[in-house]
Each structure stands twice: as C-alpha cells, then as structure tokens.
Structure 1
Amino acid sequence: MQQRTLGAGGPTISAIGLGCMGMSEFYGASDDEQSLATLERALELGINLFDTADTYGFGHNESLLGRFLKQGGPARRPQVVIASKFGIVRQPGAYERRIDNTPAYIQSACEASLRRLGVETIDLYYCHRRNPEVPIEDMVGALADLVAAGKVRQIGLSEVSPETLRRAHAVHPVAAVQSEYSLWSRDAESAMLPACAELGVSFVAYSPLGRAFLTGAVHGEELAEGDFRKHNPRFIGEAERINRQLVDELGSFAAARGLTNAQVALTWLLGKHPHVIPIPGTRRIAYLEQNARAAELTLSAAELAELDRMFAVERVAGARYPEAGMVGIE
C-alpha cells in the first residue's frame, strides 16, 4: 500500500483510509460482524487510517472500532491510526443537528469518545463542524489542551474555509482538514487545497466516490428507507438523470482501462495532489479490496485532464447536501 504522512511530521499512514460511518448509520441496515471482518481485511491490506465520529450511530461507530481494537489484542493499537470528531449534536431518529464547539463540550465529548474507543489517546481529533459563535482561537485552544494532556495526538478541522484554517493553525498546528472532495465535488480545488499544501496540512477527502453514485451501482429510486441519499439533491429527479450521464462516461473510461469506476475516481484523487488522502467507506470486503488497489495505480497527465473535463463543475447537477446537511459548512 502506498503511504503518505499525516500532517507535518505526523505518522505514516496508508494513502487510502477507510471511512467507517456507513457501518453504523445513514446507508441502510448494517451488520456488525460483517463490518468487523471488513476492518480486519483493511488492516491486512495495509490500510491503517480509520475514520469515525461520535455522531455516527450516536456512539455506535466508535464502540464498533473499540471492539475491533480489543479483538486484536495489545499489538493492534500501534498499528492503527484512529481519527474521530466532535461537534455535531443530534437526536436519535433525526437528521437535523446543532453544532457545539464550546471548550466544555469538547472536553466532555473527547472523554466519551475515549471510553467508547477503549483507548487512552485519539490519534487525530477533528472539529466535525464549525460554530462561528465560538471564536476559533477558543476552540483550538481547547484542542491544544487535550494534546497537552495526552488525550489527543493531532488536531483537525472539517468543512472549514481557508481563513478559518489559517487562524486555527496560528494557535496550534492543524494536521488535517477533512472535506468532501471527489470528481463531482471539487470546491476544495480553488483555495483549500493550495492552503493545505502551503501550511503542510493533509487534506482528507470524504465521500471520494460521491456516496457510491460514481461507482454506477446506486440508483436513487432503489435506495432503502433510512438511506439519507434518498433526500440528497444529486440523487433525485432530473439531477440524477444528468449525473447518471456523467457516470456512464466514467464507466466507459474505466472499462477501456480494465478498471472499476471507483478505482479511477480514487486514482484521480491520489494522482492530482500528494497531500490528499481519500477515505472511501464500505461495509463489504470485495469493494474494500477493489478500492485498495487504486493506491497502486497511476493515470497519465492526459488522463487526469480528461477526467477533469468530464466532471467540470458546471456539468454536475444538484447541491451536495440537503439544507439540513449544510449546517456548519463554511
């Protein structure tokens, strides 16, 4: 597995991580034993960055990762880099959320995450969403206190602006920014990716496969109840029809090279930026193995440019989240 560095002087991690959210919520029914087997296989493949959050399944996802760590015995913890997050507060059964960045909440949220994970230190602790009512200096100061206490190794931010990143980085080094980035979500290219490169900050790309739409295997009308994509603007009506045409083009590009859509989408990300770390999520070992192979593939400059043109921003239809999902995104 190709490797990259997490932040300036941070640990060596796999070039592709594993997003664990779907093992607990948002993408229909899941099975813990299947998820644990997928986590085991990921580690065998050399994937060592596992991404979770306290809000995924209302703590279930962190507890699941805690089981995975415990099953491997004392030797497993040093093999794994755990990234978790705080800040999104939801009620069971609801997608709507509020954002809490207060120092007191950060302290309590971290302690709860440590208990669920069964660890003494979280390797990378993100502010999941930003509340502008709390000065960024106060929020990062609280994270710096957790680092000083040995409860967190590195800090990160999610879905923030370059200005917020710079202000935060001036208080304490930020190891990573996590935001949506894929062939069909390219907002980060204009300012955030250059800012990260300048500051030595890794960019962790979530939903690098467009919530599986880019794979060609997902159709909005076939999604199960409880799958939040049923309400995502890009999966609905005319927007889905337009986006389906793009995915068909991607499929032809991939088939001509003996690759899957997912492999092309991930290889595109890795080939464009050396500080980008995609974290595709899956519960299934077969998809995990296909995704992992992308770390060993390359695309030429001409192929990267062709994909850039294929997924030009103006060709993609629909917002990337419903209105409630945009809360806390700068």
Structure 2
Amino acid sequence: MAGEQRVVIPRVKLGCQGLEVSKLGFGCMGLSGGYNAPVSEEFGISIIKEAFNSGISFFDTADIYGFHTNEVLVGKMLELKKLVEEGKIKYIGLSEASPDTIKRAHAVHPITAVQMEWSLWTRDIEEEIIPLCRELGIGIVPYSPLGQGFFGGKAVVESLPSETLLKFQPRFTEENLEKNKLLYTRIENLAKKYGCTPPQLALAWVINQGDDVVPIPGTTKIKNLKDNIGALRVSLTKEELKEISDAVPPNEVAGFRTAHTRYTWKFANTPPRDSHVSA
C-alpha cells in the first residue's frame, strides 16, 4: 500500500546465552502442509524472503515438517550457511539425521530457549512453566500464538481448507467451535477498540508478555505476514492485557487443546529441577 509505514522489528536477547533475535519470528511448518495444502516452492521462497526483508531474523523449521521438504525450502531461500556466518540470521529446529547431528542433539548443553504453545486460549502453562523458564534464564518461544489460526478467523470468518488437520482438533469440531466463536467475537470487539485487527490483538497479547517472549506465527499469505508484523505496533498496559485475558477465560474454552492434551506435562514423572545429568 502506497505510503504505508514500515514496522521496524526490534531485536531482543533470547535466554541467558547471548542469542539475539528479532522480537517476532516466523514458523515455516505451514509452508509444507499441515493446516493447509503445501505451497509451491517458488511461493514458499517468496514469503520467507518477504519475512527476512521485513526484519525477521528468527525462523523455525524441523526435519519432520513435510518430511525434510521444509528444511530444504528454507535452506534454498536463505543460503543459511552464508547468512549464519555473517550473523544476519538465527534459527531453531534446523537438523539432519547424520550421526554427528544425533550426537549433538543428545549432548548436554545449556538451554537457550524452549518452544511451547502459548496463546489466549492455551494458558495452562502460565502459573508454573513460564515462571520456571524465567527463573532459569530460558527464553520463551510460543508457537501457534494465534490459537492454530483461530484468532486469525480460521473456521470463524472463513472456512477450513479441506486438507487441514485442524478438523481433527477438539476445539475445531462443530460443537466446540460454535461455543468458541463467542471468544473470537469478544476479541474482535476489543480489536476495534484498540484500532487493530483481531489477529494483531491476539498476537500483541503474546508479544507483550515480556521481552523474553518471541512468538513464531506462521502463514502462507503475505498479507497475513504483514498483518502479524503490524502487531508490534500494538502497545498494551497491564490493565489492557488483563482486559484481553478476561475476554478469553480458560474455563470457557470448549474442547481440549489437542487430541493428546489429556496427557500433559502435569502428569509426567520428571527428574527434580536441581538434579544434574552427566554426559
């Protein structure tokens, strides 16, 4: 759009190990399918380029996304080796299954950041996991910060694509979705109050949770990418953050977060926090 002001994406320290990244990342998984049909390689490259040229330096990929096709896509576009050597880009999740990689993956090393699903309707981690991460100096990387696209209007103001896995997610079943639409409407009304779009407000809520929080929303549309970046303009006070939180009470969200949510970290038998593991 002519005359549109470019958003300057700030850089922040993620965790206590000195890693510096853009305050907003980009989740690449969707480019290789999952919530939608895979995009063409040409288009996938173009949207990652758009994100990079907009100031995003933090990209998430993994070998399981598209069975390696996602890593190949990201690698082709970013010329990772060159850009990493120049210090222009940071990334997480990039891997390949060589013996050396497996050894590195299972080696004991300092944890800089952890990924976790955190959005307005996935807040069961706030009381225990978030404080622990901050106590240990671990950065927080929320994936699905728009509730798997829910607060972007997916299944509310636009239909789900036929290829999506969301149809198997409890919160997107017909009965639960009808109940959850009320939550979207509340955020939509608050977005009008704050002069932004519903996905911008939902994403801004995550962004404003602290300097140690770097969400990695993904999209297959450049207009949505620009909209996500625009969320950085939305500054919220503590009172405003509470107002947004109160609009989506966890006990009003219909359905489990995923089909496997009933088996969560709360029921896991893990070592004591102060225990030490030798290599």
Range of TM-score over shorter length: 0.7 to 0.9
Corresponding residue for 2:247?
Answer: 310
Matches of 1:3 and 1:48, distance apart in 2: 9
Question: 1: CA distance between counterparts of 2:100 and 2:247?
Answer: 42
The Cα of 1:327 is off from its aligned counterpart by 7.4
The aligned counterpart of 1:110 is 101
Partner residue, 2:126: 189
Per the alignment, residue 9 of structure 1 pairs with: 17
TM-score by length of 1: 0.71
1:63 corresponds to? 72
Unaligned stretches of 5+ in structure 1?
Answer: 87-104, 112-140, 146-170
Equivalent residue letter for 2:41:
D
CA positional deviation for 1:42: 0.7
For residues 109 and 184 of structure 1, what CA distance do their matches in structure 2 show? 39
One-letter amino acid of the counterpart of residue 291, structure 1: N
Match of 2:210 in 1: 273
Structure 1 partner of 2:276: none
**How many residues matched?**
256
Change (3 A) 1:304 1:326: same
Matches within 5 A, 1:56-205: 56-70=65-79, 74-75=82-83, 78-84=87-93, 108=99, 110=101, 143=105, 145=107, 172-205=109-142
CA distance in 2, matches of 1:285, 1:179: 25
Task: Please say if residues 142 and 214 of structure 2, whose CA atoms lie closer than 8 Å, have aligned partners that are also in contact.
Answer: yes
Q: CA deviation digits over 1:31-89, x for unaligned, max 9?
A: 2222211111111111110001110000010000111123x893576311121167xxx
Query: Relative contact order (C-alpha < 8 Å, sep 6+): which is higher?
Result: 2
* Match for residue 231 of structure 2 among 294, 297, 307: 294
TM-score, structure 2 normalization: 0.83
Work out the CA distance in 1 between the residues paired with 2:263 and 2:59. 24
Decide whether aligned partners of structure 1 residues 326 and 106 sit closer, same or farther in structure 2, where only a CA change above 3 A counts: farther
Q: Which letter maps to 1:308? A: S
Match of 1:18 in 2: 26
Q: Secondary structure at the match of 1:178?
A: strand
Secondary structure at the aligned position of 1:189 is classed as coil
Aligned partner letter, 1:28: N
Aligned residues: percent identity? 35
Tell me which residue corresponds to 1:260: 197
Change (3 A) 1:75 1:309: closer
Structure-1 residue corresponding to 2:57: 48
| CA distance in 2 between partners of 1:297 and 1:28 (Å) | 28
> Take 1:25 and 1:326, find their aligned partners in 2: how far apart are those partners?
25
What is the RMSD computed on CA atoms of the aligned residues?
A: 2.6
Q: Tell me the distance in 2 between the aligned counterparts of 1:73 and 1:204.
A: 23
Instruction: Give every structure 1 segment of 4 or more consecutive aligned residues whose post-TM-superposition deviation is greater than 4 Å.
Output: 325-330
2: CA distance, partners of 1:177 / 1:4: 15
Contact 1:69/1:76 (<8 A) preserved: no
State the partner residue of 1:168.
none
Post-superposition shift, 1:265?
1.1
Change over 3 Å in CA distance of 1:209–1:64 after alignment to 2 = same
1:117 equivalent in structure 2: none
Give ranges in structure 2 of 5+ residues lacking alignment. Answer: 1-8, 269-279
- 1:288 and 1:221 map into 2 onto residues whose CA distance is 17
Equivalent position of 2:274 in the other structure: none
| 1:316 Cα deviation from its structure 2 partner | 0.6
1:74 and 1:237 mapped to 2: Cα distance?
A: 47
- Give, in whole Å, the separation in 2 of the partners of 1:64 and 1:190: 37
2:115 match: secondary structure: strand
> Within 5 A, what are the aligned runs for 1:240-255?
240-255=177-192
Residue 6 of structure 1, CA deviation:
2.1
Specify the alignment match of 1:131 in structure 2. none
Other-structure match for 2:6: none
Amino acid corresponding to residue 20 of structure 1 in structure 2: C
Q: Given the superposition, is the C-alpha separation of residues 308 and 194 from structure 1 closer, same or farther in structure 2, using an over 3 Å criterion? A: same
Higher strand share: 1
Partners of 1:296 and 1:220 in 2: CA distance: 24
Is the 1:54–1:85 Cα contact (8 Å) retained in structure 2? Answer: yes
Distance 1:233 1:183 in 2: 16
Say if 1:7 and 1:201, in contact at 8 Å, map to a contact too: yes
CA change 1:60–1:256 in 2 (3 A) is same
1:229-265, Cα deviation, whole Å (9 max, x unpaired):
0111000122101111100110010022220111111
Higher mean alpha-carbon deviation, 206-215 vs 254-263, is at 254-263
